[in-house]
Amino acid sequence: MKVTLLTYTPDPEKTVACAAKLCYSASDVDQLYEGLTREKAAGFVEMLAEIGHESPIEHASFTFALEGVSRSLLAQITRHRLASFSVQSQRYVKESNFDFVTPPEIAADPEANALFVKSMERAVEDYNALADRLQQRHERTFLEAGLPEKEARRKAEKKAIEDARFVLPNACATKMILTMNARSLLNFFRLRCCNRAQWEIKAVADEMLRQVCAVAPTLFASAGPSCYRGSCSEGKMSCQKASQVRAFYTLLHNRQTAGE
């Protein structure tokens, strides 16, 4: 798994503070923006968090690249609908020797891991066999229709992998670029940094949180699972480890504030 913060709104906390101040000021935007020092912007962002005025933080957005994550994670992360996603396509990218993500619990058990690897190898074989068989058939059809050999081969391969991909497992690795505004990110962290979140998306969320805290520490000062700055939202399903969770995220925030 590789998580990279590609880009983000320049001076995100200053942008948020300017947007919030504009709601209550007759001044020109230029005057408001120029009058905001880093300290003033941070203080204003802190005040917004205290009073629960969240709409101004939507003006700051963050774009990440995720690589080496599973298609299983893709199914979960795209449930966060207030986000933009661009995902490597299995229709256009041939997965003739795909990488795959191994769950830690499987990796820790030699027999389970051997069975898992064998399943992945079989999926590769089946995918390639299906793709080759379908491509041969489609290529004959395109040639009979009068297409040049090179074009017939290209179109046949694309048509073949469209259907061959149906045997690919959830473990198949993929890549994506996603963009969320700060308000959506706070909700994402509240849900996905929780101990009850699935292990892969929690690992992604923790790394995303670490990286945004480095560039907008005040904006994300309270970011983490619900129990980090409040009570657990899981009710009877709670992990019962709130103190350990708070210690973990306190350390994460402190390290980023210190520039580690």
The percentage of the chain sitting over the pLDDT mark of 70, rounded to a whole number, equals 98
Q: What is the mean pLDDT of residues 184-194?
A: 97
Q: Mean pLDDT, the chain, as a whole number?
A: 94
Structure confidence at residue 203 as a pLDDT band (50, 70, 90) = very high
Q: Which of 22-31, 68-77, 95-104, 121-130 has the least mean pLDDT?
A: 22-31
The verdict on whether 140 is a catalytic residue reads no
Half-sphere exposure of 140 (CA within 13 A, CB side): 5
| C-alpha–C-alpha distance, residues 33 and 149, integer Å | 61
Q: What is the pTM of this model?
A: 0.92
Closest CA to 62 of 11, 21, 5, 126: 5
pLDDT value of position 100: 98
pLDDT value of position 260: 64
Find how far residue 70's CA is from the centre of its chain: 11
Give residues with Cβ within 8 angstroms of 31, minimum separation 6.
none
Structure confidence at residue 21 as a pLDDT band (50, 70, 90) = confident
Find how far residue 39's CA is from the centre of its chain: 30
Helix H, strand E, coil C: the string for 33-53 is HHCCCHHHHHHHHHHHHHHCC
CB burial of residue 136 (10 Å; 0-12, 13-18, 19+): exposed
pLDDT value of position 191: 96
Q: Are 6 and 63 in contact (CB under 8 A)?
A: yes
**How far is the CA of 123 from the CAs of 78, 97, 200, in angstroms?**
25, 10, 22
**How far is the CA of 118 from the CAs of 69, 153, 163, in angstroms?**
20, 31, 22
Q: What is the mean pLDDT of residues 78-84?
A: 93
State both tokens at 198: 């699935």
210-260 pLDDT, tens per residue? 999 999 999 999 999 999 988 999 999 999 999 999 999 999 999 877 666
129-162 pLDDT, tens per residue? 999 999 999 999 999 999 999 999 999 999 999 9
pLDDT value of position 102: 98
Q: What is the mean pLDDT of residues 115-127?
A: 98
Is it the case that residue 99 has pLDDT exceeding 90?
yes
Which of 165, 192, 196, 255 is the catalytic position? Answer: 192
